Structure 1
Amino acid sequence: MSVATPTQTATTTGLERAAVRNWKPPIGLGVFAVIALLLFTVGSRSGVTMFRLSTTSDLIQLPEVAADVAVVTIIVTIVLFGIAALSAWRAYRAAPTPLWLTSVFAALFLVAFLSWAAAGATIPVPGLLVGAVGLSAPLIFGALGGVISERVGVVNVAIEGQLLAGAFASAVVASITQSLVAGLIAAVVAGVLVSFVLATFSIRYVVDQVIVGVVLNVLVIGLTSFLFSKVLSPNSAVLNSPPRFQRLPIPLLGEIPIIGPVLFRQTIIIYIMYVAIAVVWFALFKTKWGLRLRAVGEHPQAADTVGINVNRTRFWNVSLAGAIAGLGGAYFTLGSVGAFNKEMTAGAGFIALAAVIFGRWDPIRATLAALLFGFASNLQSVLSIVGSPVPSQFMLMLPYLVTIFAVAGLVGHVRAPAASGKAYVKS
């Protein structure tokens, strides 16, 4: 039996260390540090930005925070380069960049950017965050549906169609019945119907799942646009005037500064979203149902061997995913806009799908990713109101730039459920 020499051992150790070095985080952080340096020096601004932390109905009134733009941007830029250097040092040592360090970097960059962009104006922090939660709601419902569907082995590209079908059905049914509950049920049914088609073609007839999802999106967009033009618009008073959910503040909790307005002065559908997040996470990882679902998505042959009906499990869980996504569509018409418009989801289903990937097929992480995208969408609206020097065209691009960067720049190599996208034919 041969014994490795010290030189061979050292060489092997060095190769193993080099093999696990991940330079993507320090490169990404370094790029953003350079962007901050250029933005805050070449486009330097002076003045004071005020951050309003309380609303008039908060139990405790927090004072506004004043940020000197020049001082904040200089200090933050120096700290950003320090964090990027620390990340590079850890990568050289073959140690990963911890999530908390990346989060601190993002928070500091955001504070500096807001201070710079709103110089001389006031940023309403509770309003910014409340808007972010509202814009994130349909993304979160869609992402939860996407997580369930992909965990069971079916790629759900049809989230956009499920959201749009839910929005259309909820608007029509709630307008006719003047019942919000009926509107929610209609949204669930519409989402399930779209999922039925996806499940039938991809599972029963073994059609490529991505192609079926794309075709369904086009079908739902065309069908709802046609019905909107020919049926809803001429009869909008009867068919497109649904009631809207009113905000229901939770006593005491709703009066906490910042947290209260953001989380506890919301509508029923947002509270349903909170419950859905918790239930999906618990059921997926703590119950027998979740174990079976994940087994089908990881190794359907093994699941079949122990007596699990793979295709039946996939069919009903894809339908459940559609029901959850349909609720997200109802938020557009019953919780936000108040009426149905053509293509009103505006690509939210695809951003929800990106949140699934960014969140590594985990309900909590996917929710956080959806909140990030919703925050980016609301940020462009707030900065436009306060008169930011950033071009409006760039601000409209911001949510999609964040999506691309998050998925392509931060996710890196992730492993989807092993059998996701693969039809199972029992031999």
Structure 2
Amino acid sequence: MNFLEILQSIIPQALFFAAPLIFTALGGVFSERSGIINIGLEGLMIMGAFVGVVFNLTFADVFGTWTPWISIFVAMIVSALFALTHAIASITFRADQVVSGVAVNFLALGIGLFLTKQWYDKGQTDMISRPFYTKDIWLLSDIPIIGKMFFSNMYLTSYLAIILAVVVWFVLFKTSFGLRLRSVGEHPMAADTNGINVYGMRYAAVMLSGALGGLGGSVFALTIAMNFSQSTIVGQGFMALAAVIFGKWHPLGALGAAIFFGFAQSLSVVGSSFPLLEDVPQVFLLIAPYVLTILALAGFIGRAEAPKSLGEAYVKGNR
């Protein structure tokens, strides 16, 4: 296998695994740029996966080929509403944001497993019949070399994730909404003095993180897992959180970090076919994403500067 063949096999897989992480990491950027730590990204992905799968199973015959797209949209709405639990606890009641996020993780898994048992009378749902499918992009897939790498046998959700990262960058750094959101994460008192509704901006940011986390979870379920169970989302939310930190709380940085982690995940699938990795035990390839996550953060987190008011509850009128 030559170098080009290696790239042609690993790039589509890396983008495939990266897409759910990109969506969820972008949600984390919104939340943490507003000053709210969101450890609950894992729970938001779980809720999105659960809703996406259940909706897909329930309405597959009604919406036909549009079912997966409508499923991820419904998952976004439900997960955004679910994120309100974290927003109310950490913004209105000024609870510890880390503890609140951990509670969101446990609550989402508990709700998902309880309802799965009630509705399907077993520990997992049925397999979905309307997942996302890979496609060749017309004309672009015929381009020599790069066509097979980037435009052949690809999920449209991978392109959507990359486009959305650019959109989030534009919103955060080129619009007044983004300026206000970043200001409440850096200096909420100054923002409040200038007439910005700190609580409102933080609520909006957390709900956006819920919507994007739900999008990431539902895309993962409808492209990779194909059903919902206790092990559908295991660690992907924390990898997305690591991508937020690794990417310096910047949308494009989070995009790059998520693609890096997606590449690490893809090694467990295609790594054994590479000459340099064919003799590596499968277990090492399976744990590679998590080891690389730890190594990336251990070597980088000290140089990453978080928003100045991240994790600090804002009390109107206090200086």
**Shared fold, TM over 0.5:** yes
- Does 2:154 align with 1:263? no
**Residue of structure 1 aligned with 2:261, choices 373, 378, 382:** 373
Corresponding position of 1:186: 74
- Does 2:199 align with 1:199? no
Distance 1:260 1:340, change over 3 A: farther
Corresponding position of 1:136: 18
Query: Where does the alignment leave 5 or more consecutive residues of structure 1 unmatched?
Result: 1-49, 55-123
Q: How far apart are 1:180 and its partner, in Å?
A: 2.2
**Residue of structure 2 aligned with 1:394, choices 284, 305, 319:** 284
Does the aligned pair in 2 maintain the 1:153–1:297 contact within 8 Å? yes
Distance 1:258 1:222, change over 3 A: farther
Distance 1:135 1:153, change over 3 A: same
Corresponding position of 2:170: 282
SS of equivalent to 2:245:
helix
* 1-structure distance, mates of 2:235, 2:150: 25
Amino acid at match of 2:25: A
Deviations 1:207-248 (A, max 9, x none): 0111000011011112212333442355988x6524012233
Amino acid at match of 1:248: K
Amino acid at match of 1:309: N
SS of equivalent to 1:316:
helix
Corresponding position of 1:245: 132
Distance 1:258 1:368, change over 3 A: farther
**Number of residues paired by the alignment?**
308
Q: How far apart are 1:392 and its partner, in Å?
A: 2.7
Distance 1:223 1:243, change over 3 A: same
* 2-structure distance, mates of 1:392, 1:248: 29
SS of equivalent to 1:161:
helix
Does the aligned pair in 2 maintain the 1:164–1:221 contact within 8 Å? yes
Corresponding position of 1:107: none
Corresponding position of 2:63: none
Deviations 1:364-388 (A, max 9, x none): 1111111111111111322335572
Q: After TM superposition, list the pairs within 5 Å mapping 1:89-108 onto structure 2.
A: none
- Does 2:297 align with 1:415? no
* 2-structure distance, mates of 1:412, 1:133: 28
* 2-structure distance, mates of 1:171, 1:233: 16
Determine which structure has greater relative contact order: mean sequence separation of CA pairs < 8 Å that are 6+ residues apart, divided by chain length.
2
Corresponding position of 2:45: 163
SS of equivalent to 1:412:
helix
Q: How far apart are 1:340 and its partner, in Å?
A: 2.0
Does the aligned pair in 2 maintain the 1:53–1:257 contact within 8 Å? no
Does the aligned pair in 2 maintain the 1:171–1:242 contact within 8 Å? no
Does the aligned pair in 2 maintain the 1:333–1:340 contact within 8 Å? yes
Q: How far apart are 1:143 and its partner, in Å?
A: 0.6
Deviations 1:127-174 (A, max 9, x none): 211111111111111110001100011011111011111011011112
Larger radius of gyration: 1
Q: How far apart are 1:263 and its partner, in Å?
A: 3.3
Distance 1:397 1:273, change over 3 A: same
Does the aligned pair in 2 maintain the 1:168–1:224 contact within 8 Å? yes
Deviations 1:269-309 (A, max 9, x none): 22321221111001111111111010010000000000001
Q: After TM superposition, list the pairs within 5 Å mapping 1:304-383 onto structure 2.
A: 304-383=192-271
Deviations 1:52-109 (A, max 9, x none): 635xxxxxxxxxxxxxxxxxxxxxxxxxxxxxxxxxxxxxxxxxxxxxxxxxxxxxxx
TM-score, normalising length: structure 2 = 0.90
Distance 1:355 1:258, change over 3 A: farther
- Does 2:314 align with 1:424? yes
Return structure 1 stretches of 4+ with deviation > 4 angstroms.
Answer: 233-237
Does the aligned pair in 2 maintain the 1:132–1:374 contact within 8 Å? yes
Corresponding position of 1:254: 141
* 2-structure distance, mates of 1:426, 1:157: 25
Does the aligned pair in 1 maintain the 2:37–2:311 contact within 8 Å? yes
Distance 1:234 1:393, change over 3 A: closer
SS of equivalent to 2:20:
helix
**Residue of structure 2 aligned with 1:296, choices 175, 180, 184:** 184
SS of equivalent to 1:241:
coil
Amino acid at match of 1:138: P
Corresponding position of 2:64: none
Corresponding position of 1:214: 102
Amino acid at match of 2:97: Q
Amino acid at match of 2:223: G
Corresponding position of 1:71: none
RMSD: 2.0
Corresponding position of 1:53: 4
Distance 1:349 1:236, change over 3 A: closer
Q: How far apart are 1:330 and its partner, in Å?
A: 1.3
Amino acid at match of 1:388: E
* 2-structure distance, mates of 1:396, 1:175: 30
Q: How far apart are 1:411 and its partner, in Å?
A: 3.8
